[in-house]
A and B are shown apart, each in its own frame.
Chain A
Amino acid sequence: MKGSLGVGASTALLGRVPAPSAAEPGGSVAGKDQVLVETTVNGKPVVANTHQDCSALDLLRDHLGLTGCKKACQQGSCGACTALVDGVPTHTCSMPATSLQGRSVTTIEGLGPELHPVQRAFLANDALQCGFCTPGFVLAGVAFHDRWRAQHGKAEPSKDQVAAALAGHLCRCAAYDGIFRAMVQACAGLHDGDLSIFPRRDGLEKVTGKALYTVDIRLPGQLEAAVLRSPHANATLLDLDLSPARAMPGVKAVIALAQPGSRVRYAGQEIAAVAATDHRLARQAVQRIQASYDVSKPVVGFDAALAPDAPLVYDTSHRGAPVVNEVMATPARWDGNRRGPFATSIFLSHRLAREGVESARQGRGTLVHERWETGTQCHSTLEPHVAVAHWTAPDSLLLHLSTQACSSMAMDIARRWGLRESQVQVQCSYVGGAFGAKATLQPETIVAVDLARETGAPVRFALDRDEELVVGGSRPAVRMDLALAADESSALSGMDLLAESDSGVSIGNTVGLMFRLMYHNRRKRLRDYDVLTNAPPGRPFRGPGGPPAYWALEQAVDELATRMHRDPVSLRRAWDRNPARLRLYDWVDSLPAWKGRQSSARQGGRFRRGIGLAAAGWFYFFAPGTQVRLDAEPDGSIRLTCATQDMGNGTRSAMAQAAAAVLGIPPDRIELSIGDSRAPFGPSSTGSQTTASVLPAAQHAAEQLRDELLDVARHRLGLSQVQAVAGGLEHSGGRLAWKDLLSHCQPLSFVGRRQKDRGGATLLGNRQSRLGRGQAGAVQLSEVEVDTHLGTVRVLRTWTGIGSGRILVPQLALSQVYGGIIQGIGYALYEDRRLDPSTGLQLTTGLDNYIVPVLADLPEMHVHFDEDGFEYVRGGSVGLSELATLAVAASIGNAMHNATGKRFRRIPLRPDRVLEVLQS
């Protein structure tokens, strides 16, 4: 607490606060730039001393500890910081703290104690995933609901009305469908009564703002960190003088992160870090650090990187080049700024592929040979990358970390700082979005840990939004030359891909893998190149390599079908061998919207509509080392413990459901303890492997409990004809609930393991992640409307078929799919990281110019789960998170073609590009 008096300041305390001087003719003048503010927060008088540049959000969060107000975009674009000011939803990050003078503020903590109908509606409709944006949405929703009900009774608001009321609120998980349904139902009075059953285990904590994210952690004596970043994309650090920063009062440590003489390869690269008593001071200290550079011309974008005289991004050594994906980069040849090829196919296939393409080119068959391009997409999770490091003893580290890999992060940290795994504890109860960017040890963690060691105090380092957008991770831009050929019998006769990925200074792109995954055929020549540029490293992003690959492949297939006058479904069915997708094609054929689609030639006028189909596949990964501990107490309580995490994907709910199903009890009877690396090993939430890992382990643990209790009944209690039934067991003399049996036992503990699948798995991988047999499949249809005058595109309806086995918690699975679809819409229409071409400095540094979808983008979504085909998998389920987003952009591309008769080869589909193609 920095000099504040806090909530609950008594009137006696208020009396001692000197009133602001109002004597001067120019109005009241505050001393220096500190200003006293008197306001009311959640019904209590508050007096706080604030800085002139302090926002209302800073006051609420930092001075008053009201962490339900989230700091995310810092510029009024996302609404996570919303509070009600005199009853009106307000973005508090963009309101000066001084403006709260005499106002009355209600934060999410001030609702209640009863849940508001909007909160109940959010829970019932699963209108949230990671939950970070939820308090802001809830407060804006509460204000809208209360006004609506006063004016319209129980009438239902329209989508436009809800979208307008919630404009300026961003949900990066894209839970907009649930949010919209929740708002309509709450307004219609459907949630005025008691709370109904809701599917998300940690939902209550999220709708009430009680969920504490890493960014909300405040330890006694905690320092705040800030980092000096290179303003040059290609330079040599000449000199670094930390002393001016060190000399500032309140600065506790300053460390160098780069040494004089070292190369700087991207703008935003870490140079030095400061820990100080507050964040503003830390940032000021960073500005005092003197760094000088020998600046060279940077390489920005594909063309600059591949120009004959291009400067080399890695001129002497490329050792230590970061890897963009979760898997290790395979060795490859470096040729200037191009590295590769990483060939996903063998030489014989190459020859066959080239022959097939050549033959089609000469008229024996059909050929589609095009270049496809995708933009760079930033993860931009609403909770930024953040770590709070606390050395509780010289050899013992407690790290609060926003991560999707609790267990493996603890191992990596132990290795880096020379500790035993038992000496590192990583905690992450709630994760405000990750999408792949929070899986590996990155500078933000290293900075916090090193500064905490240096100062002997807890240190928090949270990226600001501009840093998050620059270094927080991105999906690389890709350009693909793809030749796709079919022979005269319309069989796939050649697929020749040259993919180049710009993941900045990082390597190891594997776009070609996706082309191998689809349409099993020998005649493939798949070559992947990294193109090195002076841009920040990419990081894995939901289905790494997938959305760009399908953007090219699935449009090429569609184009080939058009040229061959073949139905796009029947062509895919002829080529495809994936059993899940083959069943899904039948489902597509049954859809009235698909059957009734019009050809582009039959449309005229300004607004054109079209429907497009795309298919996708994804790997089945699981973590064989996963363990779930089950503790059962004599009082009947049952708890599952695992060092995995829930980043909004619903890990908690899936674990509880899996164990509850074995025991035949309601899932809310099972307590959960996750997000702590000291628990038994849990999977990282990468590669869509969480469910396929924890579900069987939780199930196995519950089975052991069940069997033990059956044993107790038979042998200790001497019961006969014992058999398990829902909720307990039956015996010759009646029924006994598990709870009753537990009262006869000492505390019981079992470790459930992730047992092998029937028939085993592949040899690829290790205990943290292994490739299973079989692949999940998806089909995606999108209907678009194109405004041919203004070049704007709206996705109106989508149909998604998912074949990933058994669906355990349908509402949460749907939330995952919906989120994946809308993220895919953002990828296709808006998301566009931009770098200045001459300096390499990033231009899109805020959520006002890095555009992501809002509620108004929500299409009408239909989802079909095909649950068959994975019976050999323990638990019967493989992941679906990535599957849901892979084919969205491609389906939109095909829909654009169906609508306009034109082929759009570059995303995002900005109005300028759409107009350009339409005019061509």
Chain B
Amino acid sequence: MMVFPTTIQQAAARPGIIRAGGTDLLDLARRAGISGPVVDLRDVSGQRNIQATEDGGLRIGGLVTLASLADDPQVAAMYPAVSLAAASIAGPGIRAVATVGGNLLQEVRCWYSRNPHFDCLRSGGRACWARMGDNLYHVAFDREICAAPSPSTLALAFVAHDALLETHDAALHPISGLHKVFDRQKRTQAGRPVLAAVILPAPSEGQLSSYLRVSARPLADWPLVELALRMDLAGGLVREARLVLGAVSQSPLRIPAAERALVGWAPGSFPPQEIERAIRDSARPLPMTSYKVDLAAAAVRDGIMAALENPP
């Protein structure tokens, strides 16, 4: 059973899994061999644009494709981290179809939870297989019971920019509440929220940002560790910073101590040991993921250098 609502308000009112680009849902349905009702957003006319907001930021429709996001000159100029993050995902053949909303709300990429032979916490089972088994690609900053890292690369960049999520009812929610607003347990129930757009606040004067991805293969590979960084400057010194790690925790992970350590310094003159220590102090690796802590600590230096290379 599938429906093609023409507005996201209609979509919110229908039961079923919300399908935007569908790049991942097709694979999940194939693996499971079954699928429930689908609310396909194909015929939704809005939410496909990137528009300037009144306060000088951008509103990115939930149905904007990753390719459009990565190619948008405004996004590249105002939010390099967002642009670079979008361009790093999969390959062009997927980015042409996959959407911002789909990327934020995709299922985790855990090789246990995706294997129909394992009943895990996400599919009604009682145990996390990864925790007891092969967790080479799982969390290293362990915060919740399920050991799968947050799969969304865009979420990282949006957290770095303090983005807001706009739902179908025009309500705004901080991005940090992504998984509370879009409760996975309710994802097929009529009346659950549907993402309308992501609102990026106006970048401050001289803001620096970057996104960095560490993966084994140079292109079209999942990140082992990824990092988004934003630095707001005042008088040549960092006034406020966001340092967000991805692929290492159950949600995009800010490292507040590292952010504090960046404040008050001129970009490029940071005390790297202090930042590294902040990262290492907040790590809680699984048996096979302590390398991710090393990678995160090493990636920060690259991230800062990259931010300096992307001046506004």
Contacts and interface: CB of A to CB of B under 8 A. Distances in A.
Contact of A53 (B30, B220, B222): B30
Most buried by B among A32, A74, A76, A915: A76
Contacts of A164: 92, 219
Given A52-B38, A790-B299, A834-B136, A843 B115 contact: yes
A29 B117 contact: no
Contacts of B21: 95, 99
Interface stretch (A1-9, A331-339, A526-534, A847-855): A847-855
B230 interface: no
Interface in A862-920: 910-912, 915-916, 919
B306 to A, nearest CB: 13
Interface in A814-869: 829-830, 834-839, 841, 843-846, 848-849, 851, 853-857
Interface stretch (B3-11, B177-185, B249-257): B3-11
A85 interface: yes
Nearest to B224: A911
B91 A168 contact: yes
Given A789-B298, A838-B132, A283 B33 contact: yes
A76 B27 CA distance: 9
B40 A96 contact: yes
B275 to A, nearest CB: 14
B97 interface: yes
Given A89-B92, A910-B216, A836 B23 contact: no
A26 interface: yes
B13 to A, nearest CB: 7
Most buried by A among B21, B23, B93: B93
Contact of B1 (A52, A95, A792, A857): A52
A169 interface: yes
Interface in B1-53: 1-7, 10-11, 13-14, 19, 21-27, 29-31, 33-35, 38, 40, 42-43
B35 A52 contact: yes
Nearest to B1: A33
Contacts of A837: 133-134
Contacts of A287: 33-34
Nearest to A913: B291
B96 A843 contact: no
Contacts of B27: 74-76, 94, 846
Nearest to B44: A27
B121 interface: no
Contact of B10 (A25, A90, A91, A848): A25
A80 to B, nearest CB: 10
Given A26-B10, A96-B40, A911-B224, A853 B3 contact: no
A794 interface: yes
A82 B33 contact: no
A82 B109 CA distance: 23
Contact of A836 (B129, B221, B302): B129
Contacts of A844: 111
A849 B117 CA distance: 17
A164 B92 CA distance: 8
A911 B111 contact: no
B133 A79 contact: no
A794 B109 CA distance: 26
A167 B91 contact: yes
Contact of A167 (B29, B92, B302): B92
B214 A792 contact: yes
A26 B133 contact: no
A278 to B, nearest CB: 14
Contacts of B224: 911
Contacts of A98: 2, 4, 40, 42
Interface in B87-126: 90-94, 96-97, 109, 111-112, 115, 117-118
Q: How large is the interface on A (under 10, 10 to 19, 20 to 34, 35 or more residues)?
A: 35 or more
B220 A167 contact: yes
B20 to A, nearest CB: 10
Contact of B93 (A53, A82, A101): A82
A856 B134 contact: no
A792 B19 CA distance: 36
B216 A829 contact: yes
Contacts of B217: 829-830, 851, 853-854, 856-857
B294 interface: yes
A851 B3 contact: no
A227 B306 CA distance: 50
Given A231-B117, A790-B295, A96 B5 contact: no
Given A26-B13, A52-B2, A89-B96, A857 B29 contact: no
A138 to B, nearest CB: 13
Interface residues of B, number: 66
Contacts of B112: 836, 843
Interface in A481-502: none
Given A94-B26, A854-B220, A790 B93 contact: no
B165 to A, nearest CB: 23
B218 interface: yes
Contacts of A853: 217
A843 B2 CA distance: 31
B23 A94 contact: yes
A323 interface: no
Given A283-B33, A836-B129, A851-B216, A91 B1 contact: no
A35 interface: yes
Interface string B183-222: 0000000000000000000000000000000101111111
A26 B3 contact: yes
Nearest to A28: B4
Interface in B269-307: 288, 291, 294-295, 298-299, 301-302
Contacts of B132: 838
A78 B49 CA distance: 29
A848 B92 CA distance: 15
Contact of B214 (A55, A82, A848, A911): A911
B41 to A, nearest CB: 10
A576 B9 CA distance: 76
A165 interface: yes
A30 interface: yes
B221 A26 contact: no
B14 A76 contact: no
B86 to A, nearest CB: 13
B22 A95 contact: yes
A163 interface: yes
Nearest to A169: B91
Contacts of B3: 24, 26-30
A791 interface: yes
A165 B3 CA distance: 34
Interface in A356-376: none
Contacts of B38: 33, 52
A79 B11 CA distance: 31
A466 interface: yes
Given A32-B1, A836-B112, A851 B134 contact: no
Interface string A761-793: 000000000000000000000000000011110
B2 A140 contact: no
A163 B133 CA distance: 35
Interface in A456-488: 466
23 contacts: A27-B3, A27-B5, A29-B4, A33-B1, A33-B2, A33-B38, A52-B38, A89-B92, A89-B96, A90-B97, A95-B23, A101-B42, A167-B92, A168-B91, A284-B33, A792-B214, A837-B134, A848-B222, A849-B137, A857-B217, A911-B216, A911-B291, A915-B291
Shortest 9 CB-CB contacts between residues of A and residues of B: A168-B91, A912-B291, A27-B5, A91-B93, A167-B219, A789-B298, A167-B91, A843-B111, A856-B218
Interface of A: 20, 24-30, 32-33, 35, 52-53, 55, 74-77, 79, 82, 85, 88-91, 93-96, 98-99, 101, 140, 163-169, 231, 267, 283-284, 287, 466, 789-792, 794, 829-830, 834-839, 841, 843-846, 848-849, 851, 853-857, 910-912, 915-916, 919
